[in-house]
A and B are shown apart, each in its own frame.
Chain A
Amino acid sequence: MARPKSIRAPTTASLPSNLRIPSSTPSLVKSFGKLTRQALLDLAFQWLDDRNIQAFPPYLQENEDQKEEDDEGLSPYPAERTVNDVRNAYQELQLRKGGKREVIDRILEGDWRHGITLRQLAMVDLRYIDDHSSSLRWTALELARISSQPPPDSDLSACVPRVHASTFLNSLQQQIAPLVKAHYYLSRSTSLPLTFLRIFVTNSPYQHPRQAAEILTDSSRVIYVAFPDSCPYLYTSIASSPGSKASASATPHAVATDPRSLQRLVRDALPKALSLPHQRYTLKATSLTAKSLQALLSLRGPGRSNQSNGAFSIFADAALEGSPLDPRPSNTVTPEEHMNHPSHHKENQPTDSEPPKAPKRPLTTTDPHTSKKRSLTVQSRFGTSGSLSSAPLDRLDIRLLDPPHTTTSTPEPTTSKPTISLTFTGTDIISGFRKLADLNIIDAKKMPSWMTGEEAVSVAVVRGGTRVVKDIG
Chain B
Amino acid sequence: MDPDDLDSEISAIRAEIRTLHHRRRVLASSILSSRPLQRLSKTHSLPPPPNQSHRQQEWTDISPLIQSSASHAQTNHHRIAFSTTTFPFTDPSPNAESQNLLGIRIDICGREGRYTKPYYVLLRRVNQNKSGDGKKEVKVHRHTIPSVVDIGRLERIYLPLESTTQNTAEDVEAEEQLKPWKRKSRKQDLKTFVREVRKQLVVWHLRCDAVRYLRETLGVVTRGVDDDAMYEDDERPWERDILGPSANVDGAGETRIAKNKLGIVSLGPTALEAVYVRMEWEDGRVGRFKISNTGVVERAVVIGDAGRDKLTEGIITGGDGRVETLLERLGHVAGDV
Q: Which of B90-98, B223-231, B257-265 lies at the interface?
A: B90-98
What is the distance, in angstroms, from A131's C-beta to the closest C-beta of chain B?
Answer: 12
> Does A315 lie within 8 Å of B122, measured CB to CB?
yes
Taken together as a complex, chains A and B put the C-alpha atoms of A177 and B316 apart, in Å, by 41
> Does B203 lie within 8 Å of A350, measured CB to CB?
no
User: Is B45 in the interface zone, CB < 8 Å from A?
Assistant: no
**A230-B95 contact, Cβ under 8 Å, with A315-B144, A327-B33:** no
> Does A191 lie within 8 Å of B251, measured CB to CB?
yes
Taken together as a complex, chains A and B put the C-alpha atoms of A148 and B146 apart, in Å, by 21
> Does A330 lie within 8 Å of B72, measured CB to CB?
yes
Write out the residue numbers on chain A whose beta carbons fall within 8 Å of the beta carbon of B23: 348, 350
User: Is A449 in the interface zone, CB < 8 Å from B?
Assistant: yes
Taken together as a complex, chains A and B put the C-alpha atoms of A352 and B174 apart, in Å, by 59
Taken together as a complex, chains A and B put the C-alpha atoms of A191 and B249 apart, in Å, by 8
What is the distance, in angstroms, from A69's C-beta to the closest C-beta of chain B?
Answer: 43
> Does A354 lie within 8 Å of B22, measured CB to CB?
yes
Which one of B32, B117, B122 lies within 8 Å of A343 (CB-CB)?
Answer: B117
> Does A157 lie within 8 Å of B18, measured CB to CB?
no
Q: Which of B149-157, B209-217, B306-314, B319-327 lies at the interface?
A: B149-157
Closest residue of A by beta carbon distance from B242: A229
Write out the residue numbers on chain B whose beta carbons fall within 8 Å of the beta carbon of A465: 93-95
Write out the residue numbers on chain B whose beta carbons fall within 8 Å of the beta carbon of A233: 147
Q: Which of B49-57, B131-139, B267-275, B279-287 lies at the interface?
A: B267-275
CB contact list, A340-375 vs B, under 8 A:
342-348, 350-352, 354-356
Which one of B14, B95, B117, B122 lies within 8 Å of A304 (CB-CB)?
Answer: B117
> Does A160 lie within 8 Å of B148, measured CB to CB?
yes
Write out the residue numbers on chain B whose beta carbons fall within 8 Å of the beta carbon of A345: 114-115
> Does B115 lie within 8 Å of A323, measured CB to CB?
yes
What is the distance, in angstroms, from B277's C-beta to the closest C-beta of chain A?
Answer: 13
What is the distance, in angstroms, from A188's C-beta to the closest C-beta of chain B?
Answer: 7
CB contact list, A307-359 vs B, under 8 A:
307-308, 311-312, 315-316, 318, 321, 323-332, 342-348, 350-352, 354-356
What is the distance, in angstroms, from B237's C-beta to the closest C-beta of chain A?
Answer: 9
> Does A449 lie within 8 Å of B93, measured CB to CB?
yes
Write out the residue numbers on chain B whose beta carbons fall within 8 Å of the beta carbon of A356: 14, 17-18, 21
User: Is A306 in the interface zone, CB < 8 Å from B?
Assistant: yes
User: Is A162 in the interface zone, CB < 8 Å from B?
Assistant: yes
Taken together as a complex, chains A and B put the C-alpha atoms of A351 and B150 apart, in Å, by 35
Taken together as a complex, chains A and B put the C-alpha atoms of A233 and B144 apart, in Å, by 17
> Does B148 lie within 8 Å of A157, measured CB to CB?
yes
> Does B107 lie within 8 Å of A324, measured CB to CB?
yes
Taken together as a complex, chains A and B put the C-alpha atoms of A163 and B23 apart, in Å, by 47
User: Is A146 in the interface zone, CB < 8 Å from B?
Assistant: no
> Does B271 lie within 8 Å of A230, measured CB to CB?
yes
CB contact list, A190-232 vs B, under 8 A:
190-193, 229-232
Taken together as a complex, chains A and B put the C-alpha atoms of A446 and B92 apart, in Å, by 9
**A193-B147 contact, Cβ under 8 Å, with A230-B271, A311-B92, A343-B116:** no
**A325-B15 contact, Cβ under 8 Å, with A149-B174, A159-B150, A347-B26:** no
User: Is A380 in the interface zone, CB < 8 Å from B?
Assistant: yes
Q: Which of B35-43, B73-81, B329-337 lies at the interface?
A: B73-81
User: Is B189 in the interface zone, CB < 8 Å from A?
Assistant: no
User: Is B19 in the interface zone, CB < 8 Å from A?
Assistant: yes
Write out the residue numbers on chain A whose beta carbons fall within 8 Å of the beta carbon of B122: 308, 312, 315
User: Is A472 in the interface zone, CB < 8 Å from B?
Assistant: no
User: Is A466 in the interface zone, CB < 8 Å from B?
Assistant: yes
Which one of B73, B112, B148, B276 lies within 8 Å of A162 (CB-CB)?
Answer: B276
Write out the residue numbers on chain B whose beta carbons fall within 8 Å of the beta carbon of A354: 18-19, 21-22
User: Is A302 in the interface zone, CB < 8 Å from B?
Assistant: yes
> Does B18 lie within 8 Å of A355, measured CB to CB?
yes
User: Is A448 in the interface zone, CB < 8 Å from B?
Assistant: yes
**A159-B95 contact, Cβ under 8 Å, with A229-B272, A352-B15:** no
Taken together as a complex, chains A and B put the C-alpha atoms of A315 and B17 apart, in Å, by 30
Write out the residue numbers on chain B whose beta carbons fall within 8 Å of the beta carbon of A466: 95-97
Taken together as a complex, chains A and B put the C-alpha atoms of A325 and B76 apart, in Å, by 7
**A231-B147 contact, Cβ under 8 Å, with A311-B93, A327-B73:** yes
Write out the residue numbers on chain A whose beta carbons fall within 8 Å of the beta carbon of B168: 148
User: Is B63 in the interface zone, CB < 8 Å from A?
Assistant: no
Taken together as a complex, chains A and B put the C-alpha atoms of A303 and B116 apart, in Å, by 13
Write out the residue numbers on chain A whose beta carbons fall within 8 Å of the beta carbon of B150: 156-157, 159
Write out the residue numbers on chain B whose beta carbons fall within 8 Å of the beta carbon of A301: 147
Taken together as a complex, chains A and B put the C-alpha atoms of A351 and B24 apart, in Å, by 12
Taken together as a complex, chains A and B put the C-alpha atoms of A465 and B96 apart, in Å, by 8
> What are 22 A-B residue pairs whose CB atoms fall within 8 Å in the complex?
A148-B168, A149-B178, A155-B293, A156-B153, A157-B149, A159-B153, A160-B271, A192-B250, A231-B147, A302-B146, A304-B144, A307-B145, A308-B142, A327-B29, A329-B72, A345-B115, A348-B23, A352-B15, A356-B14, A448-B93, A448-B94, A466-B95
Name 14 extra pairs, CB < 8 A, besides A229-B271, A466-B96.
A149-B171, A152-B179, A157-B150, A302-B272, A306-B147, A316-B144, A318-B118, A323-B107, A324-B79, A327-B73, A327-B76, A345-B115, A351-B22, A381-B93
State the 9 A-B residue pairs at the shortest beta-carbon distance, nearest first.
A465-B95, A230-B272, A159-B150, A323-B115, A324-B79, A449-B93, A318-B117, A327-B29, A231-B147
